[in-house]
Each structure stands twice: as C-alpha cells, then as structure tokens.
C-alpha cells in the first residue's frame, strides 16, 4: 500500500469522524498521518497474521505470536 | 552553605547536613522560595506556588529530624507537574478547561512523596494536557529553558526540567507518554527516568494515552532519581496497570561497578538525522562506558522504524479521552493541541489495531535484544532544544524523537547529561533496560555520571 495520503483523503477522514480542522492546518495534519501510518502501510498484514495486538499491555510479557488462525 | 552550593545540593548531601544540623529544611525551603521569587517571573516553571504549605511541611520535617527520623527524603523540597492531582491545590493540566479544578484527593505518587517526607513547593507547569505547546496567547505562559530562555525546555514536563536546571527545587515529578520526562531532562541538562510501565502508579494523574502513559521522577543526579523512585515505585490497586513486581533497592544498586555490563548500541533510527554535536557527544559517552569496563557492542532492532506508528496509538487514545470536551468546548483547547487531538479521530479502528500489532512485534524484538545485552544506549534526542520560534512555526512538522520506542515497549529508560552543543545547550544520553530492571539502568547511569562532569554544569541564570 502506498505511504502517500492525499489532502482529499485527510478531508474525507475528517468528514467521516465529524471533526473540524482549520483550513491552514490540513497540510500539517496530512504530514502527521503520513508519518504515523507509514509503518502500517509498509506491512502486508497477511505476513503477520498470527501476531496479536498488545491490547492488554504488559511490559514484562513474552513476545506473543498468538494461536494459529487456522489458515496456516 | 549558600548560593549554588545550596540551590544545587543533592538529596544525600542535604540529608547529611540536616542531620548534622548545619542546615534545616526551613532554611532550605526559604532559600528556594526566594530563588523562585527571583527567577520564576522569567522561567515560568511554577504555575502554582504553595509557599505557606511548604514552610509548614518544612517545619514538620525539622521536628521529625529532631526526633531521629531517618527517611532519606525527609525535608527535601520538590515540585509536582500540574497533571498530578493535589488535594486542595489547583490542578490545571496546563489547560483552560481545568483552570480552576481543585481535586479532593492526591494522586498516588504525590501521596507517596509526601509520606516519604518531601516538602511540596508547588505545581510545575506542563504542556497543555501533556501534549499541546503553549503558543502565544495561551492561558498559561510556557516554561523557558534556563540554559537559553529563547529555547524550549522540552515537554511536556517543561516546568519540572526548568525548575531543576535553575536550582528552584531538588526533585520533581513528570509524566512520560512519548518522552515527556526524558525530553525536558535532555533539553535542560538534568536527569529523568521513565520507569517500566506499571512500576509507578498513574492513579490521580490526568490521562493522555492509557497504554503509553508513565509516571516518574526528575532530579539533577542519577542518585537523586534513585531516591525518588524508591519512594514512588510499588503496586497500587488504584491503577489497573500497576504491577505487583517486587521493588529493588535502587540507591543500593548504584555502588556496584559496571565492569562486564553489556551495553548495546542501536544505531539505526536512533542516530538517523542526529546533529554532529549529538553524535560526537554520544560516541564520547560510549568511550567512557568502555573505559569503565562495559562491553559496548552494536545491536539491531529489525523493525525499529515501526516506532512512528506510536502516534496512531497515542492520538487515538487521547482523542477517546478528550472527545466529549473537544466536541462541546473546543474553544477551551489551544489551537495546536486541538488539532493534534482531532487528528486522533482520523485513524480507523483497523489502523489502531495494526499499530498495536506492530507495537507487540517491536516490544518482542527489543526484549530479544535485551537477552543479549543488559542496557541499550542511544542519544535521548537527535538534536538539542529548538527555539520557541521554531516550535511555533506551523510549517514545521512534529520532530522525530528517540524516546517513543521505550513507551511502546514499556521498558525503563533513563536520560542524563552527556555533553553540550557549541551553542551551550545540553545533550543527553538515554539508557534503557529490561522490564523492572531500573536498578541496572540507574547503575549504568550513575557509573557514567561519576566519571564525567556534565551534571555539575550550571545554567547562566
């Protein structure tokens, strides 16, 4: 997936979320999203299918790959 | 004892002088209150000063000392970041939204330091809700960097860094969601430790991001941080993330040498784009650690460049926390914070979950590295403190930071001075360790500190 995010996409996202952003700040928000989402867009989620999210965060926990999802 | 010797004295020395009756907590507190009165109109570190209460607590500490009380923090004057609830004392979070909020209970960390005998000087200014930056026109003035008041002191524990560097308090509380303890420590030339997630309670502290928020101390030396952390650490039933892991003897661990300690250098990401002065100071620090007998070697964290996805998690959680107020009273937020919080609404649920998956992978890789070394060393910040003008320039993006990987992983991370730029601004070394091994991180930092003089330099205030 491309790391690029257009201003139109940012505006669409804001419209869906129902939030208002000042006209002169769209570009700054777009840059924020591009940087934050770059690692996510670089990953093929199928390649990490067994990796569970850190929803219950425990600093000491061992790395959890989680149970197989049945596809592999 | 007067002047710099008094204003910059450490906890061990103060305790010794208290017990020899060469100095009293009342004399020390009075001297610091006078210094605050003189310097704070320029530095803006304190948002609320509690002078009467401080003097009453200092008198009580004096009486306890006469009774033979041996607590190391007894009579030590401290400031609390204004994001920690304090009973009967206004707690603003640096926000107009809470400008008049007076909590009816102390946060757990405040309770623990007060129970340990600390004297509360007042509340220290924080960036708005620990994320915004006080732009011109904001309800509260921004703290300024004592090394050069045209530069920011770092944030969000901005008042904590500025007050310590200028000798206005002996210890301080900060919070750290993406570097808010270590950043001010770095930019102000002081020491701060973000303990392991779950080590110090978040109860009674305003939330920025539940899974990334950490509480912890700042001070002017590693040993002082160890004393403060000793009082703060430990399980708290009021914090759902609090850990029951046993608490180590932090100050006791400092005396052990670091000969043979394995220190890993993760160059990728952490040195990317760093200023030459920062790289030079960092490499010199590594030579010092080698000279102390540490086994310094390069390590690799394969997916370290996933770290910027930290922002997806922080912004999403922060928006969830602030959503009602943002929608109903947006005018009470500063422009910059409102925009940052609103950006949290722009991520999808799937993106939040994917970021939490990458977080899990990164945490696992960092733990894998820490099976081969005891400590990971990096520069705390790739660059020294920017100017206010640079920070307020809306065309400039959010600068990349070396600190969030340790919020994502929850690992303990210490920031301590390791040099100065040619402009006279502090440069900082970051040392991170295994979960709940703060003692190891502090031991490495203390050994380095004892071999160098950076922490003894004073700003021109």
Contact A17 B345 (CB under 8 A): yes
Q: How far is B213 from chain A (nearest CA, A)?
A: 12
Is B81 considered catalytic here?
yes
Is the pLDDT at B236 greater than 80, yes or no? yes
The answer to whether position A28 is within a domain reads yes
Q: What is the mean pLDDT of the segment spanning B270-297?
A: 98
Strand partners, A53: none
The answer to whether position A38 is within a domain reads yes
Confidence of residue A72 (pLDDT cuts 50, 70, 90): very low
At B427-458, the pLDDT tens digits run 999 999 999 999 999 999 999 999 999 999 99
Contact B397 A24 (CB under 8 A): no
At B263-282, the pLDDT tens digits run 999 999 999 999 999 999 99
Is the pLDDT at A60 greater than 90, yes or no? no
pTM attached to this predicted model: 0.96
Between A28 and B180, where is the model more confident? B180
What does DSSP say about strands B214-219 and B191-194: parallel, antiparallel, or unpaired? Answer: antiparallel
Tell me the longest C-alpha to C-alpha distance in chain B: 62
The pLDDT, as a whole number, for residue B336 is 86
Is the pLDDT at A70 greater than 50, yes or no? no
The pLDDT, as a whole number, for residue B392 is 82
For domain B4-257+383-456, which architecture applies? Alpha-Beta Complex (3.90)
**Percent of chain B predicted with pLDDT > 70:** 99
- The pLDDT mean for chain B works out to 96
Query: Which residues span the domain enclosing A18?
Result: 7-42
The answer to whether position A53 is within a domain reads no
Parse chain B into domains and list their residue ranges. 4-257+383-456
Which of B343, B345, B398 is most worth mutating to test chain A (most A CB atoms within 10 A of its CB)? B343
Is the pLDDT at B312 greater than 90, yes or no? yes
Q: Which of B157, B180, B201, B409 is catalytic?
A: B180
Give the list of residues 6+ apart from residue B6 with CB closer than 8 angstroms, or none. Answer: B23, B28, B31
At B94-126, the pLDDT tens digits run 999 999 999 999 999 999 999 999 999 999 999
The token pair at A27 is 């570009």
Report how many domains make up chain A.
1
CB crowding B354-384: b at 16 or more within 10 Å, else e: bbbbbbbbbbbbbbebbeebbbbbbbbbbbb
């Amino acid at each position: 997936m491309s790391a690029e995010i257009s201003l139109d996409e940012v505006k669409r996202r804001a419209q869906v979320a129902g939030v208002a952003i000042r006209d002169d700040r769209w570009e700054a928000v777009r840059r924020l999203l591009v940087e934050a989402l770059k690692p996510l867009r670089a990953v093929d989620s199928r390649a990490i299918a067994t990796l569970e999210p850190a929803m219950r965060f425990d600093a000491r926990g061992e790395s959890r790959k989680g149970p197989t999802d049945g596809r592999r | 004892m007067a002047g710099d010797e008094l204003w910059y004295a450490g906890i061990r020395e103060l305790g010794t002088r208290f017990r020899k009756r060469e100095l009293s907590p009342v004399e020390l507190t009075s001297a610091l209150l006078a210094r605050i009165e003189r310097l704070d109109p320029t530095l803006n570190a304190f948002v609320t000063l509690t002078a009467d209460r401080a003097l009453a607590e200092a008198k009580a500490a004096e009486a306890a000392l006469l009774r033979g009380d041996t607590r190391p923090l007894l009579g030590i004057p401290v400031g609390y970041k204004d994001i920690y609830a304090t009973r009967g004392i206004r707690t603003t979070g640096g926000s107009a939204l809470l400008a008049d909020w007076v909590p009816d209970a102390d946060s757990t960390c405040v309770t623990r330091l007060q129970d340990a005998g600390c004297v509360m000087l007042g509340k220290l200014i924080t960036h708005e809700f620990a994320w915004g930056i006080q732009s011109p026109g904001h309800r509260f003035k921004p703290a300024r960097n004592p090394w050069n008041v045209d530069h920011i002191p770092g944030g969000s524990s901005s008042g904590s860094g500025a007050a310590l560097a200028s000798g206005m308090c002996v210890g301080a509380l900060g919070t750290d969601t993406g570097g808010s303890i270590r950043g001010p420590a770095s930019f102000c030339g002081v020491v701060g430790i973000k303990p392991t997630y779950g080590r110090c309670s978040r109860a009674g502290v305003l939330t920025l991001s539940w899974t990334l928020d950490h509480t912890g101390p700042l001070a002017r030396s590693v040993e002082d941080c160890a004393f403060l952390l000793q009082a703060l650490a430990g399980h708290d039933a009021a914090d759902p993330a609090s850990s029951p892991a046993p608490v180590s003897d932090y100050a006791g661990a400092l005396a052990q040498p670091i000969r043979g300690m394995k220190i890993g250098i993760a160059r990728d990401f952490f040195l990317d784009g760093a200023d030459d002065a920062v790289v030079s100071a960092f490499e010199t620090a590594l030579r010092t650690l080698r000279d102390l007998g540490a086994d310094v070697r390069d390590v690799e964290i394969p997916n370290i460049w996933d770290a910027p996805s930290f922002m997806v998690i922080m912004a999403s959680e922060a928006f969830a926390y602030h959503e009602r107020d943002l929608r109903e009273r947006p005018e009470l937020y500063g422009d910059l914070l409102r925009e940052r919080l609103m950006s949290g609404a722009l991520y999808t649920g799937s993106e939040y979950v994917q970021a939490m998956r990458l977080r899990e992978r990164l945490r696992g890789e960092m733990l894998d590295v820490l099976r081969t070394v005891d400590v990971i060393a990096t520069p705390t910040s790739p660059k020294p403190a920017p100017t206010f003008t640079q920070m307020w320039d809306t065309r400039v993006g959010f600068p990349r930071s070396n600190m969030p990987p340790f919020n994502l992983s929850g690992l303990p991370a210490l920031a301590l001075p390791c040099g100065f730029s040619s402009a006279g601004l502090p440069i900082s070394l970051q040392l991170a360790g295994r979960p709940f091994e703060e003692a190891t991180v502090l031991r490495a930092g203390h050994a380095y500190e004892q071999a160098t003089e950076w922490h003894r330099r004073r700003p021109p205030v």
